[in-house]
Structure 1
């Protein structure tokens, strides 16, 4: 099949949506499909081979501008949509897969109207829980109402929805969205998460090999709840005075989190590393942790939990929305409520018991196999084939 994927975000911008697109695109390309990803142009870094699937699939970049309130992100320029539409209409596609609800959605639905092609859209982000953090001057009931209204409008504009978890499917059902949907989580390529050297990472960054160490991998934004984890660390250092907390990721909340770490007296305990290379230093950072900690309440899935499992890092996490699905049958994780005392107690339990950690370490890779991309990509193929085989809507001229 010829598959067109459209997104308002992609690598080198690191987040779960970018990772999901890249993972599915590579898996589909390896199964013989022709995949094209259309995404914003982030400037000099956009053309790096590491960000474009190593030549396994095509990436087309559209002119974009920086978003003033979130300078990490870029918005595709509206003026470029008409040119892109004309170019893409000259090519043959079997299905259009939209990944984000902004300019990419506009382009995808325009293409569908002109061509009669089927459209599928992945609902990657729980916008109802996110929007308040980015529009804090608006009342919370208004932002929630707005997120639900916009979601209904967007979802009713496509033929089919993909949702990463059953919990997210239930949210959309409560919104009154009638568009057919399929639950297809994002898998991981287990071969990419089979390495990593924690001792090397500790040595490179001056971390004692015997020092108890926590790690998290996340975009640094308010909805990821990393401030909660800092308060957990503040509690733990009373029992583990040499504890280190390693944070990998970047985002708009970085300055506030660093300030909070200082306020809590954690300057000697918290290390911010920014975005790390997914093929080398990020794997080492995961492996450097005695425990992987996570507490985001807004995940539609929670890919980093699966990555930690694959690398054999014991997990302590809350289980809300998509993370509840990932952790439901996991033997490599301890689940906690979003309560500082309860969460710190679970982490301390692991840090005190090397034999319990070893049990969770052993279970991790087995847990991760349930989320192998090799199994999940077949579900996407089946969905595409079903949509492409349906009677086409007459194209608009």
Structure 2
């Protein structure tokens, strides 16, 4: 089994799905008898485990919980077979440097469509300029990898469209199906004071780029008496709360949920609502499915594939409030059959299946 050095800029327990993916792949790689060390931005409150190496870092000013890692290559990871970068930025450049120095292949994971976020942090010509710069940088970095890994076919098509010539392989991030499973949600509802009726909602980062402010008007337009529930937090939360109030919804904002509460959260929902057009896979949609909860997802980006229309949920056209509302109604009406389909598809979305595919990519180098 190969030894791997994984470089990532999101690894602390409080942050996003990239963290989960790196941890899950590392643990399963160790289970297979290999070694996967992780290089990540250190934080004062986190004590690294064996095989984890922190670099110097500072707090990211725009999002609590993120740390910006300064470039660095710990001595302990200088003798590996494969360098796997989960970021193209500072620590990704450290991975590129290490790969060249020890003549090891560089594998680059593409988790986030950086250029597509430009419209959400700037306007007009400034956004166009930022997008152009981001795409040039993505091409610069990814074309220096021996292999690029993406979690979905739409993500691979996107990279081909912006001029990535390196080999691109689809390796789904994978879900820990031993953890994400259907559970009794009674205690969860009681602790968070949630009603007994139908629930619809979302958990994850509340970012404007995810289109979450489209959820309240769609729920208000749908013919349902469901309570709207949000887990997580982020810069769009205030706008979400205002939108829910403006539409007269019974909306509950639970804030960041402990990881151990996520299976119960998903199990409590009758439909998971996911309007984000900027996902490279949409891991939370697969987590919801693994808990037997169908997803109402935008028919755009990776969710066009991740959500199987009429099987594990329903699609709607981006920006179509009435279409979103109709998809919510259909999902609630078909809740029982869709849930059964979700549970039947658990194995194909498992992290074990993902690591099998990752091993094939490493073996081909």
TM-score, normalization: structure 1? 0.86
Aligned-partner Cα distance in 1 for 2:149–2:100: 20
Aligned pairs for 1:281-296 (under 5 A) are 281-296=261-276
Q: 1:217 offset after TM fit, Å?
A: 1.8
Aligned-partner Cα distance in 1 for 2:109–2:267: 31
Q: Deviations over 1:55-95 (max 9, x none)?
A: 6x6222222111223343211135xx2xx35x246x42110
Counterpart of 1:14? 15
Checking the alignment, whether the CA contact within 8 Å between 2:192 and 2:254 is kept in structure 1 is: no
Counterpart of 1:218? 204
Q: Deviations over 1:28-59 (max 9, x none)?
A: 11111111111112321x23xxxx7xx6x622
Unaligned runs of 5+ in 2: none
- 3-state SS of 1:120 partner: strand
Aligned length in residues: 363
Aligned-partner Cα distance in 2 for 1:240–1:379: 41
CA RMSD of aligned residues (A): 2.0
Q: 1:330 offset after TM fit, Å?
A: 6.5
Counterpart of 1:127? 114
Aligned-partner Cα distance in 1 for 2:245–2:350: 40
Counterpart of 2:351? 373
Q: 1:184 offset after TM fit, Å?
A: 1.0
- Taking a change above 3 Å as real, the CA distance of residues 165 and 129 of structure 1, as seen in their structure-2 partners, is same
Counterpart of 2:184? 197
Indicate the structure (1 or 2) with the bigger Cα radius of gyration. 1
Counterpart of 1:383? 361
Counterpart of 1:75? 68
- Taking a change above 3 Å as real, the CA distance of residues 322 and 179 of structure 1, as seen in their structure-2 partners, is same
Structure 2 residue corresponding to 1:343, chosen from 316, 324, 345? 324
Counterpart of 1:228? 214
Aligned-partner Cα distance in 2 for 1:305–1:217: 10
Aligned-partner Cα distance in 2 for 1:162–1:230: 35
Counterpart of 2:32? 31
- Taking a change above 3 Å as real, the CA distance of residues 136 and 58 of structure 1, as seen in their structure-2 partners, is farther
Aligned pairs for 1:1-397 (under 5 A) are 1-44=2-45, 46-47=46-47, 58-78=51-71, 81=72, 84-85=73-74, 87-88=75-76, 91-136=78-123, 139-209=126-196, 211-236=197-222, 239-241=223-225, 243-266=226-249, 269-278=250-259, 280-328=260-308, 331-338=311-318, 339-351=320-332, 353=333, 356-387=334-365
Q: 1:329 offset after TM fit, Å?
A: 6.8
Q: 1:219 offset after TM fit, Å?
A: 0.9
Q: 1:265 offset after TM fit, Å?
A: 3.4
Aligned-partner Cα distance in 2 for 1:138–1:234: 35
Q: 1:136 offset after TM fit, Å?
A: 4.4
Q: 1:263 offset after TM fit, Å?
A: 3.4
Checking the alignment, whether the CA contact within 8 Å between 1:160 and 1:180 is kept in structure 2 is: yes
TM-score, normalization: structure 2? 0.93
Aligned-partner Cα distance in 1 for 2:349–2:341: 14
Q: 1:138 offset after TM fit, Å?
A: 5.3
Aligned-partner Cα distance in 2 for 1:180–1:7: 21
Aligned-partner Cα distance in 1 for 2:27–2:198: 37
Aligned-partner Cα distance in 2 for 1:240–1:323: 24
Checking the alignment, whether the CA contact within 8 Å between 1:215 and 1:285 is kept in structure 2 is: no
- Taking a change above 3 Å as real, the CA distance of residues 240 and 365 of structure 1, as seen in their structure-2 partners, is closer
- 3-state SS of 2:345 partner: helix
- Taking a change above 3 Å as real, the CA distance of residues 67 and 283 of structure 1, as seen in their structure-2 partners, is same
- 3-state SS of 1:139 partner: helix
- Taking a change above 3 Å as real, the CA distance of residues 260 and 329 of structure 1, as seen in their structure-2 partners, is closer
Q: 1:137 offset after TM fit, Å?
A: 7.5
Counterpart of 1:393? none
Aligned-partner Cα distance in 1 for 2:237–2:139: 32
